[in-house]
Amino acid sequence: MKLAATDLLSLEQYARERAAFRARVLEHKRARQLHVGPHTTWSFEDRLTVQYQIQEMLRIERIFEPEGIAAELAAYNPLIPDGHNWKATLLIEFAEPLERRTALAALRGIETRCWVQVAGHARVAAIADEDLPRENEAKTSAVHFLRFELGPAMIGALRAGAALGAGIDHEHYRYSIEPVPAAVRAALLADLA
């Protein structure tokens, strides 16, 4: 279910509750993160993680007008899963600037080489960056937005206990996690209708 303005805290209320809300969200996010290899993290989004992002943007930008709040909701609501998919932020992480620059040049197209797989079913490739292109002819971005669409049979198999795998199959970055840790699998299963 998408967020509405009535789901958000006012700037004043958020200022009072921010520390506790932030701690709750960070704990929640732990079971929604998947480290695929040494340099990528998939952070699976849901209604709570998106609400936190919106609240932080409203706070940072001091947005309180209805039009501004509506614009933030329009920008972030598409990151909430729809009951038949998972949506994730892909972070490509290299600490050293020179290493990062070299890696981002070599990893062009990595966002379309991400996959999930329900045991007994075909891999599901990521649909990436639907909002705007995040790479050019020289390099890819360090942040991408992914969507994985699951069919009813896959969802049923997951509910029945099927294992879940995930990975990246790029010529310069090949890693997989099979099976996905139980806590992450449980969090993702809760996103499905």
Residue 185 has pLDDT above 90, yes or no: yes
CA distances from 62 to 23, 67, 72, 186 (A): 21, 13, 12, 36
Residue 53 has pLDDT above 70, yes or no: yes
Mean pLDDT of 89-116: 95
Residue 98 has pLDDT above 70, yes or no: yes
The sign of the torsion formed by the CA atoms of 43, 46, 51, 57 equals positive
In this structure, what token pair is assigned to residue 182? Answer: 């139980």
Other CB atoms within 10 A of residue 4 CB: 11
pLDDT for the residue numbered 120: 97
What sections of the chain are H helices per DSSP? 11-30, 47-61, 66-76, 97-106, 152-159, 182-189
pLDDT for the residue numbered 133: 67
116 vs 125: CA distance, rounded Å: 7
Give the model's confidence band at 37: pLDDT under 50 very low, under 70 low, under 90 confident, else very high: very high
Residue 136 has pLDDT above 80, yes or no: no
The sign of the torsion formed by the CA atoms of 9, 190, 38, 138 equals negative
pLDDT for the residue numbered 186: 97
Share of residues in the chain with pLDDT > 90 (%): 92
Q: Which amino acid, one-letter code, is at 166?
A: A
What pTM does this model have?
A: 0.90
Largest separation between any pair of C-alpha atoms in the chain: 50
Other CB atoms within 10 A of residue 165 CB: 15
Packed helices 11-30 and 47-61: angle between N→C axes, nearest 10 degrees: 140
pLDDT for the residue numbered 132: 66
Backbone angles phi, psi at 113, to 5 degrees: -105, 10
Residue 138 has pLDDT above 90, yes or no: no
